[in-house]
Amino acid sequence: MEETILGIHHITAIAGDAKRNFDFYTQVLGLRFIKRTVNFDDPYTYHFYYGDEYGSAGTILTFFPWGDIEQGEIGAGTASEIGYSVPKGSLDFWIDRFEKNAIVYHKPATKFGEKFLTFFDPDGLKLALIEAETPDNRVAWETDAVKAEVATKGFHSITLTLNEVAPTARILTEIFGYQLIQQEGVNYRYATKAIDTANVIDLIELPEEPLGEVAGGSVHHVAFRVKNDEILMQFRAKIKALGLDITPQIDRNYFHSLYFREPGGVLFEIATENPGFTVDEPLAELGKNLKLPAQYEPYRSDIEQHLVVID
């Protein structure tokens, strides 16, 4: 089973103000800030990573805070909702917390037999807290305000909105090893048995839906997890054989990646577990200091002058 896709590795979204993003995810949501680095393709912009204690694959949410970016739009060809797994019975805690922090949310509902609470981050990014029906034994990162009995445990799922489900489903089933496990109207739930958590992808089929726009408050790409570089490159060959464009292997310092646009329009990445987030700082200090890839170290002082100080 390890020679296939092991669910979600990370999800990357676009934010506006860096400090506001940092405060929301570390304080309101109670995630661990695990890496403070820059966008490797745009080094005068931060790249923030949030996750569990270790920055385990399946818990990592990352942001490019691009300042005055225009607002994106959920629509066809976008990853339209990020689902976090939370313990059963925790939604009342979260409703109370969202009320106190003036966070926009919808009242809880049920989908595929699971109770969930949808909410929006300060940039309008849509997320959901889901009380999973399948066991989730991951150890949550806890803070003084968000204890383990209510804290997020990492991803439950990602939802993609599409004009047509079939072409995307083909990638999931024939290449990634996912299976259709449930369908409710226009909602299709796919999951992989290769791993127990962060293993669900929900597809929504809306044939008339206008194309979305990836900008502020929207998901930039969804990264899927593989064990190592060898398996990564096996997937590169499989994607290429379908006639899709895929990048060469790219070194992202904390993982090695490939990118391709799936037929429904969403940017997919495949990323390795190795080497992980402790490659350039010890576990206890994750996120404390600005970490730069080697090619940008000569420009550190210049880069630092362009970035807002975040504590």
Residue range at the interface with Zn ion (CB under 5 A); choices 122-130, 191-199, 204-212, 222-230: 222-230
Residue range at the interface with Zn ion (CB under 5 A); choices 6-14, 44-52, 142-150, 181-189: 6-14
Question: CB-wise, 121 or 269, nearer to Zn ion?
Answer: 269
The minimum distance between CB 221 and Zn ion, in angstroms, equals: 6
269 is an interface residue for Zn ion by CB under 5 A? yes
Residue range at the interface with Zn ion (CB under 5 A); choices 73-81, 90-98, 110-118, 266-274: 266-274
The minimum distance between CB 121 and Zn ion, in angstroms, equals: 18
Question: Which of 189, 203, 173, 226 lies closest to 7, judged by CA?
Answer: 226
The minimum distance between CB 35 and Zn ion, in angstroms, equals: 12
Residue range at the interface with Zn ion (CB under 5 A); choices 13-21, 65-73, 215-223, 293-301: 215-223
Question: CB-wise, 128 or 223, nearer to Zn ion?
Answer: 223
The minimum distance between CB 87 and Zn ion, in angstroms, equals: 28
Q: Which of 127, 200, 223, 232 binds Zn ion (CB under 5 A)?
A: 223
Which residues between 75 and 104 bind Zn ion (CB under 5 A)?
A: none
The minimum distance between CB 103 and Zn ion, in angstroms, equals: 26
Q: Encode the chain in three state secondary structure.
A: CCCCCCCEEEEEEEECCHHHHHHHHHHHCCCEEEEEEEECCEEEEEEEEEECCCCCCCCEEEEEECCCCCECECCECEEEEEEEEECCCCHHHHHHHHHHCCCCECCCEEECCEEEEEEECCCCCEEEEEECCCCCCCCCCCCCCCCCCCCCCCEEEEEEEECCHHHHHHHHHHHCCCEEEEEECCEEEEECCCCCCCCEEEEEECCCCCECECCECCEEEEEEEECCHHHHHHHHHHHHHCCCCCCCCEECCCEEEEEEECCCCCEEEEEEEEECHHHCCCHHHCCCCECCCHHHHHHHHHHHHHCCCCC
Question: CB-wise, 140 or 219, nearer to Zn ion?
Answer: 219
Question: CB-wise, 117 or 214, nearer to Zn ion?
Answer: 214
Question: CB-wise, 105 or 268, nearer to Zn ion?
Answer: 268
Tell me how far CA of residue 302 lies from CA of 162, 183, 305, in angstroms: 42, 52, 5
Question: CB within 8 A of 235, min separation 6: which ones?
Answer: 5, 175, 226, 258, 270
Report the distance separating Cα 250 and Cα 257, nearest Å.
Answer: 5
Question: CB-wise, 203 or 223, nearer to Zn ion?
Answer: 223
37 is an interface residue for Zn ion by CB under 5 A? no
Residue range at the interface with Zn ion (CB under 5 A); choices 131-139, 146-154, 264-272, 281-289: 264-272
183 phi and psi angles, rounded to 5 deg: -140, 135
The minimum distance between CB 254 and Zn ion, in angstroms, equals: 10
Tokens of 208: 């008339």
Question: CB-wise, 223 or 231, nearer to Zn ion?
Answer: 223
222 is an interface residue for Zn ion by CB under 5 A? no
12 is an interface residue for Zn ion by CB under 5 A? yes
Residue range at the interface with Zn ion (CB under 5 A); choices 9-17, 85-93, 147-155, 209-217: 9-17
273 is an interface residue for Zn ion by CB under 5 A? no
Binding-site ranges for Zn ion (CB under 5 A): 12, 223, 269
